[in-house]
Structure 1
Amino acid sequence: MSSSTDPDCSEQPPLIPSIPDDVALNCLARVPWSHHPTLSLVSKSIRSLLYSPLFFTARSLLQSTEPLLYLSIRSPLSPSLWFSLGRTNDQDYPRSLVPVPTAPFSSVGSSYAALGSTIYVLGGSTNDVPTSRVWALDCRFNKWLPAPSMRVGREFSAAGVVDGRIYVMGGCVVDTWARSTHWAEAFDPRTGKWEAVPSPIEIRDKWMHASAVVDGKIYAMADRGGIVYDPRNGKWESVESELDSGWRGRACVVDGVLYCYDFSGKIWGFDGKKKEWRELRGVENGLPRFLCGATMANMGGNLVVVWEEEGRGSRKETEIWCAEIGVEKRQDGRELWGKIGWVEKVRSVPSRSSIVHCVAVSV
């Protein structure tokens, strides 16, 4: 046994001199995420704290968590490059996508689900073979971890999170009892288990191309008519024709309104209560007319739009652009208005790169 005078057993220096560590933790946990790189340079004790579960628990309890945007990009160099983007109010601190450690997998057609500070990458195909593998990106430490596999392999499935559980459906051929029974599954991170979700036989031939959660229901847009699942009562229904006909590409939900970007270069929002699509006004002059590869996310209650542009310099590169938009309902909900907070180029990537997906988490 080491003696009490052993240098290895000496007490750690205080986080902040002359202040108890619990008080210092309370203060440091409130520092905005964008300042953490600078904060980590202050001392080894603080740097160690910033990479500890205790620090993130304190941020959560103090309600000091912030939204972070994560972006997956496919490039000629790698099928799965990942980046993160945080908020900043410092005009001298440019916004930019920061590389995240390379994902330990290379799949196409994966689905994505964000739960707390973790992003789950579900299935996809490897060498044209659907996989049941699930990977989890712990966004607190930007670390990839294997998660429990689904019961069946899937590609281009629909996914959503409701009441702390991940639901995934479709993306598999129901040619066996196992695939038929587990056409829809649910994952509970508390138990680490996937369980089959009963589904009607008549919907199991659908292949998904988009999904979202609205009012606790999972909307899955399919090749022939969308479907909606309510986990609270286990009920399956067809998506209303108005939503089905207007949903284009990747979408997200902000304040109960589902937003998507259409082929005419406009952002539309669907009001589920009134069953109507409305154009998002106020952003016409702040965004380019057409957004190539546009995808969206709800970042702390604001609508974030990410798209690709051709590089303007002599180097052949693809530029990734991003805009954050505050959205609101006016005229008793009859109009949707947006106010652009900022529009910036956040990264240059190799030519012929494309955006796969973006998702926001709270860290």
Structure 2
Amino acid sequence: MSNGFVPVPTKSWAKVVEEGVLTAIVEGCVEGLNPVKAFLSSEHDEEGEAEALIPGLPDDLALLCLAKLSHGYHGVLQAVCKRWHFLIQSPEYERAHLQGGKCGDWLFVLTEEPKEGNWTAYDPEAGKWHVLPPMPGVTADHRHYGFACVGVAKRLLVMGGYYTPFDPPMQPAKYFAVNEVLQFDPFSKRWSKVASMRIPRCSFACAVIGGKVYVAGGCSSSRRSPLSHAEVYDPIENRWEDIAPLPNAREDCVGVALAGLFYVIAGVVENHADQRTVEVYDPSRATWYSLPDVWLFSRQMPCPVTSMQGSMYALDDWDANTIKVYDPQLGEWVNIGPVPGVEVPGQDRRPKGFNFGLIGLRDELYVLGGKVLRWQPANGHWKKFDILRLNTVIACNPSARSVTWRKVNCMGESRGAVLGCAVLEEEPNSQTSSVNAG
């Protein structure tokens, strides 16, 4: 994939300097201007002396300028010339980013397609998607399911799950979970292994509270009972520690961080009964307690759920794909509004989608990917259908007086059911994250 970047027109350096664009970028005060246009140079003359990174500027200042651009622009920077191509991938560029201490905003998504299983990242500043390097252990023949993912301490963590031959429609008859944890570093753009969880698990709850990662429940294989074991990860110390176990073991659950508490939602318990009760862990007291009748449904598989700015949101895919928010004072879920139906070429009606991803970034909820059934006429009736995998993305501000959805640039080749999504939000004095389980 080409990362969705296209070359932009060159511009004379005399004009750039005259307009003060470089100074403005260094000071971080450019508004309403695409800064990439300021960073175009002539091709490097391989037979002669290397040209400056940016004509008229010392290379160290030019490097600082380039390092201020968010990750969504890196593809077009690499397309400018060979010297920039190698610079963006160099340790010098990594150190310049690291020196600034800012990694930008990231929205990470993994979908069922393409088969290579690459994660895709969105840069809201640039409005662009780009493909991450392949994650170790994932190939076109085997895929990763049942994992959890979070953004924490300026890293993406992908935890646990199981690996199985690539066959999205079918649940494997036999699988074994892993306890490995992989992290993606946005500064170096590389994957690496960190400390493993204490036990293997998949289909478990996970959330970030106070810069630490909490996991609970799940199962260790297709033939094992649900787990009650819970633990916490400190990314600074790179160490996992046990915490008090879940009061009721459960699998196929999801985790949400809300008001400094770890909510374990949905799933099934030992006797395979559906679970409407929510288990809540309070890290300050190191104790669990139960909240009955909080969850929306009595079915096994949870609908997409996430937290954003102190509120918990769910996409009710049994109720016309309605976005709902939990009101802790009322102890109930309140409707915000439906997700717009999907536009399908050749059909007048907009069918209801499923297998979406739901995640909060800043003050917006993003609905990503998913599938729809595309019906086809047969003998005068709509009897035949095929599955259309989506790469579309829409977003809204759920707290606005009138909720309006906007289209976000599509995910390119990444499409279909969302297996996992997470965000990293850039904030000056804190490490923040959001989570959605795979």
What range is the shorter-chain TM-score in? 0.7 to 0.9
Distance 1:16 1:362, change over 3 A: farther
How far, CA to CA, are the matches of 1:49 and 1:97 in structure 2? 18
2:286 corresponds in structure 1 to: 234
How far, CA to CA, are the matches of 2:315 and 2:179 in structure 1? 30
How far, CA to CA, are the matches of 1:45 and 1:320 in structure 2? 33
How far, CA to CA, are the matches of 1:17 and 1:347 in structure 2? 34
Aligned residue identity for 2:205: A
Q: How many Å apart are 1:97 and its aligned residue?
A: 5.6
Contact 1:319 1:347 in 2 (8 A): no
Q: State TM-score, norm by structure 2.
A: 0.64
Aligned residue identity for 1:60: G
Alignment match of 2:71 (pick from 33, 49, 70): 33
Alignment match of 1:290 (pick from 345, 348, 352): 352
2:151 corresponds in structure 1 to: 114
Superposed CA deviations along residues 179-201 of structure 1, whole A, max 9, x for unmatched, are 98x8111111222111111236x
Aligned residue identity for 1:226: V
1:334 corresponds in structure 2 to: none
Q: How many Å apart are 1:132 and its aligned residue?
A: 1.3
Q: How many Å apart are 1:169 and its aligned residue?
A: 0.9
Aligned residue identity for 1:210: V
Q: How many Å apart are 1:70 and its aligned residue?
A: 1.6
1:55 corresponds in structure 2 to: 96
Q: How many Å apart are 1:118 and its aligned residue?
A: 1.9
Higher strand share: 1
2:389 match: secondary structure:
strand
1:73 corresponds in structure 2 to: 111
Unaligned runs of 5+ in 2: 1-49, 164-173, 269-274, 344-349, 375-385, 427-438
1:71 match: secondary structure:
strand
1:216 corresponds in structure 2 to: 260
Unaligned runs of 5+ in 1: 1-11, 331-336
Number of corresponding residues: 328
Q: How many Å apart are 1:273 and its aligned residue?
A: 3.9
Question: Alignment RMSD, CA only?
Answer: 3.6
1:1-363 equivalence runs, <5 A = 15-20=53-58, 23-42=61-80, 46-47=84-85, 50-51=88-89, 52-60=93-101, 65-75=103-113, 77=115, 80-87=117-124, 96=129, 98=131, 100-105=133-138, 106-126=143-163, 128-172=175-219, 183-199=229-245, 202-203=247-248, 205-221=249-265, 222-223=267-268, 224=275, 225-243=277-295, 245=297, 248-262=302-316, 263-264=318-319, 265-281=321-337, 290-309=352-371, 318-328=389-399, 330=401, 337-343=402-408, 345-348=410-413, 354-362=417-425
2:179 match: secondary structure:
coil
Q: How many Å apart are 1:42 and its aligned residue?
A: 4.4
Superposed CA deviations along residues 199-250 of structure 1, whole A, max 9, x for unmatched, are 36x42x2224221111111111132322111212212111352345599512
Superposed CA deviations along residues 43-84 of structure 1, whole A, max 9, x for unmatched, are 6665555443323324535xxx53222211235845x44222
Q: State TM-score, norm by structure 1.
A: 0.76
Contact 2:195 2:239 in 1 (8 A): yes
Aligned residue identity for 1:194: W
Q: How many Å apart are 1:158 and its aligned residue?
A: 0.7
How far, CA to CA, are the matches of 1:81 and 1:311 in structure 2? 25
Q: How many Å apart are 1:349 and its aligned residue?
A: 5.8
Distance 1:271 1:120, change over 3 A: same
User: After the TM superposition, which of the residue ranges 340-349 and 161-170 deviates more from structure 2?
Assistant: 340-349
How far, CA to CA, are the matches of 2:144 and 2:74 in structure 1? 32
Distance 1:75 1:89, change over 3 A: closer
2:208 match: secondary structure:
strand
